[in-house]
């Protein structure tokens, strides 16, 4: 077979202008949702606000995402993709505890930048949507497996409390992504963002007991 034919067959099909515009609008919608979720939370955010921020009619928004829950799910998918991409950049030769600290540092930085979606811990409709969303579940499992492996390795090295179930440690680390403390500390004006992150890393990994 001619090599040019092989190259042509292997090359990905170019998206049409209409498809590119569709994807660009979806990106704009998800970015707006992310900002509003970080600023107001899921319960306070409205679909009307999202449509207004993007500059489209609500009916047009619904052609991309059929519900408020679907909007939140897609925002979480994008956040988990960013998280996994960051985890993949961490030096594999670093001790597992340092990689976990790097992951929490990233969560806090994203939150302080106003880019971490704030979702309620209990909302039946949202939970059902997330549990049924293949993209969300696949990415959540991937991130959890990465962090879980580091947690178990750090426990085996005696750097984390081995009596704690790894799932408890994992959820404790995830909780830093929606921790209200960074916002409280920033509002005092007494600490820089970097100081806030360092303080929270200390309380997260060293606890509150005197050393």
Q: Quickly tell me which residue has 């190259």 as its tokens.
A: 7
- Whether 9 is covered by a domain: the verdict is no
| pLDDT score for 178 | 87
Number of domains in the chain: 1
Mean per-residue pLDDT, 2-15: 56
Average pLDDT value over all residues in the chain? 89
Would you say residue 64 has pLDDT above 80?
Answer: yes
- Whether 115 is covered by a domain: the verdict is yes
- Whether 200 is covered by a domain: the verdict is yes
Residue 2 to residue 51: CA distance in whole angstroms: 50
In our burial notation (b when 16+ CB lie closer than 10 A, e otherwise), range 116-129 reads bbbbeeeeeebeeb
The tokens of 195 are what? 């100081």
Mean per-residue pLDDT, 34-44: 89
- Whether 171 is covered by a domain: the verdict is yes
Judged by average pLDDT, the poorest of 8-22, 147-161, 191-205 is 8-22
Residue 150 to residue 144: CA distance in whole angstroms: 10
Would you say residue 119 has pLDDT above 90?
Answer: no
Question: CB count, 10 Å around CB of 50?
Answer: 23
**What range does the domain containing 140 cover?**
67-206
Query: 46-56: per-residue pLDDT in tens?
Result: 999 999 999 99
Judged by average pLDDT, the poorest of 48-57, 146-155, 189-198 is 48-57
| Overall pTM > 0.75 | yes
- Whether 54 is covered by a domain: the verdict is no
| pLDDT score for 3 | 52
The CATH number given to whatever domain includes residue 89 is: 1.10.357.10
- Whether 90 is covered by a domain: the verdict is yes
- Whether 184 is covered by a domain: the verdict is yes
Residue 69 to residue 33: CA distance in whole angstroms: 11
- Whether 22 is covered by a domain: the verdict is no
3 state SS for 10-50: HCCCCCCHHHHHHHHHHHHHHHHHHHHHHHHCCCCCCHHHH
């Amino acid at each position: 077979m001619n090599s040019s034919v092989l190259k042509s067959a292997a090359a990905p099909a170019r998206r049409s202008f209409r498809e590119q515009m569709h994807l660009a609008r979806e990106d704009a919608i998800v970015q707006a949702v992310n900002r509003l979720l970080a600023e107001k939370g899921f319960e306070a955010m409205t679909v009307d606000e999202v449509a207004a921020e993007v500059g489209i009619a609500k009916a047009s928004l619904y052609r991309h995402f059929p519900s408020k829950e679907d909007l939140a799910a897609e925002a979480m998918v994008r956040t988990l993709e960013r998280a996994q991409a960051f985890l993949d950049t961490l030096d594999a030769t670093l001790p597992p505890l340092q990689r976990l600290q790097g992951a929490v540092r990233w969560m806090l930085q994203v939150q302080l930048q106003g880019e971490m979606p704030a979702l309620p811990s209990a909302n039946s409709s949202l939970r059902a949507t997330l549990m049924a969303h293949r993209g969300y579940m696949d990415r959540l499992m991937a991130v959890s497996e990465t962090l879980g492996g580091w947690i178990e390795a750090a426990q085996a090295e005696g750097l984390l409390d081995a009596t704690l179930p790894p799932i408890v440690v994992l959820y404790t680390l995830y909780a830093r992504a929606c921790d209200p403390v960074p916002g409280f500390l920033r509002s005092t004006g007494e600490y820089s963002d970097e100081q806030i992150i360092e303080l929270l890393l200390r309380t997260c990994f060293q606890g509150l007991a005197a050393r």
